[in-house]
Chains A and B, each alone.
Chain A
Amino acid sequence: MHIIEDGNAAAALGVKLAGAQVIAAYPITPQTPLTEKLSEFIESGEMKAQYVPVESEHSALAACIAASSTGARAFTATSANGLLYMHEQIHWAAGARLPIVMCVVNRAVGAPWNIWNDHQDSISQRDTGWIQMYACDHQQIIDGVLKAFALAEAVSIPVMLCYDGYLLSHTYMPFEVPEEEKIARFLKPFAPAYALDPDDPANLNTVTLPDVRVDVNGETAHGYMEIRYLLQEDHRAALTVAQEIEDRFTEVFGRGDDALLEPYRCEDAEYVVVGLGSLTYQLHDVVDTLRAEGFKIGVLGVRLYRPFPSEALAEALTGVQEVIVIEKALSYGYEGALCSDLKAALCGRQPTVTGMIAGIGGREIRTADLTDTLRAHVRGAPDEDPGWIGIRL
């Protein structure tokens, strides 16, 4: 069944369908309607879950960590400074290998205070050990929540499902609601290898020595480094698992495609624009315009940012002359993080990589500006303001 709703409602419906058992969240614009919707579902009895009201985002994730440790399916959501307030617990959740799912409704980070969209919040959490997925429309949000739980539980790594604040969270569009009766075929009940039990108390993730050691049972236990090595190994393996989950989703629900990348008109492209989130869908129209003018250009959306699909990207961009990365975040003092990541993935291969920044703090990205900038760039004109689309100084 198709409905027309906003992106936050799509996320809330996804969480309900996924059968999340514990929700702990603190409201922050533009995430607020998502958590309000979930509390309404729970209050009305439509959704059987425990809503834990908390006094901060740090506590929200702490509550999810505790819930997930007992074997409950746990969900939270936040934006911008709320996400940063969680930061310590974000690392913890990944290190503890808890399959929590969090929606990050992308918003610029203060100061100065700003409630509008960019990607600085989630990109700044890139190295915490969480999986990061980026949605381009409401279908990818609602389906993405289900896939996120499936992936998190399959690899025991928490997942952030990121979607653009306002642009997606508050925009209405039609999307198909996954059929409730099919959910069980896609998402099995959460059954962790170990779950905390009050009748059999245990300490988890206590001080772990640099070296391996023999534990109280006489078994050799991992040192910190082994535990972190395994997180990295499992992260890289998640690239394959994500695609298997995507394929299973397609089998059950009849839609889905590539879990890692979403190319558009890239087949014979000399130039490919790479980006994250709804911007890459806006670029579809830009590519159509430029193609009609004779430019061989395509767009490649990165749907899974961590683990980074380095090999898939290198393969997809083979034979391309130039890659132009447009992103809504940057590593201050250098360049956009996606741009750096992509340069590393393409090191020793042909395409040159150019980085551009757009839409910081909700600065409107006009489709005409994107078209003009890319046309001028491809024609070889020097970029007026190195890479900052729409800047007015």
Chain B
Amino acid sequence: MIEIRWHGRGGQGAITAAKIFATAAFKAGYTGVTMAPTFGTERRGAPVFTSLKIAREKIYDISPIETPDIVVVLDHLILAEVDVTAGLRSGGLVVLNTPKPLVAYDFGPARLAVADITGLSVEAGLPQGRVNSGIIGSLCRAFDTVPFELVLAEIEDEFKTKKPQANVQAARLAYEKTVVGDA
């Protein structure tokens, strides 16, 4: 089982991002997929997280993730408010949307992947602050498990009425520009 915790802000689309990735994973043969958002405390702008579990077999335990393999952070400013690496398994991965370079961070034994998703998404033609397609591109670059083309098809489908091509482009740009560090 792979456990991915997504940190974002209410309204930022972390749940949609996790759902897109979950659907692609399911289509790639991961029969067990569950995605449980933070319950009941969502407010626009407030830090929220969602738990995504992926497995080859049906998942029966839908309780929140305590020891993630991967944490995905949609906004680097959340680092000052939330301990995003809480419980992160040793050798785990942090995927971070940040304008800063790898060397600006130290997550100890965790691997770090960074990209300026906010900037790249605008470059792709999305409105300022729409980062949820881009972050999936970064995740796919650093965590090569679900075929990227399958993920892109899901992005296009999810946003079929809201700039599908710009969303796909944002994911592609992020995929290309993501820098992955060593543990």
Contacts and interface: CB of A to CB of B under 8 A. Distances in A.
B26 A166 contact: no
B98 interface: no
Contact of A4 (B33, B60, B61): B33
A170 B36 contact: yes
A119 B33 CA distance: 25
Contacts of A116: 39-40
A44 B33 CA distance: 30
A284 B19 CA distance: 25
B31 A174 contact: yes
Interface residues of B, number: 19
B24 to A, nearest CB: 10
Contact of B61 (A115, A166, A172, A281): A281
Interface string B16-49: 0001001100100001011111011000000000
B59 interface: yes
Contacts of A367: 61, 63
Given A278-B62, A281-B62, A174 B36 contact: no
Contacts of B26: 2, 4, 174
Contact of B40 (A4, A166, A278, A368): A166
A342 to B, nearest CB: 22
B48 to A, nearest CB: 12
Contacts of B61: 281-282, 284-285, 367
Contacts of A172: 19, 22, 33-36
Given A29-B40, A116-B39, A116-B40, A173 B33 contact: yes
Interface string B51-65: 000000001111110
B33 A281 contact: no
Contacts of B39: 30, 116, 166, 170, 362
B29 to A, nearest CB: 12
Contacts of A174: 26, 31, 33
Interface string B91-104: 00000000000000
Interface in A338-393: 362, 364-368
Contacts of A364: 63-64
A190 B33 CA distance: 36
B60 A365 contact: no
Contacts of B64: 364
Contact of B36 (A115, A167, A281): A167
A171 B35 contact: yes
> Chain A CB within 10 Å — which of B26, B34, B39, B59 has the most?
B39
B62 A282 contact: yes
A281 B34 CA distance: 13
Nearest to A281: B60
Interface string A241-281: 00000000000000000000000000000000000001001
A171 B22 contact: no
B63 A4 contact: no
A115 B33 CA distance: 25
Contacts of B60: 281-282, 284-285
A362 B38 CA distance: 12
A166 B42 CA distance: 13
Interface of B: 19, 22-23, 26, 31, 33-37, 39-40, 59-64, 66
Which 6 A-B pairs rank lowest in CB-CB distance, beginning with the nearest? Answer: A166-B39, A172-B35, A284-B60, A281-B60, A171-B36, A285-B61
28 contacts: A4-B23, A4-B33, A29-B40, A30-B39, A116-B40, A166-B40, A167-B36, A167-B62, A170-B39, A171-B35, A171-B37, A172-B35, A173-B33, A173-B59, A174-B31, A174-B33, A278-B62, A281-B62, A282-B62, A282-B63, A284-B61, A285-B60, A285-B61, A362-B40, A364-B64, A365-B63, A366-B66, A368-B66
Interface of A: 2, 4, 29-30, 115-116, 166-168, 170-174, 278, 281-282, 284-285, 362, 364-368
Given A170-B39, A173-B35, A366-B63, 12 more contacts: A2-B26, A29-B40, A171-B35, A172-B33, A172-B34, A172-B36, A173-B59, A281-B60, A282-B60, A282-B63, A284-B60, A365-B63
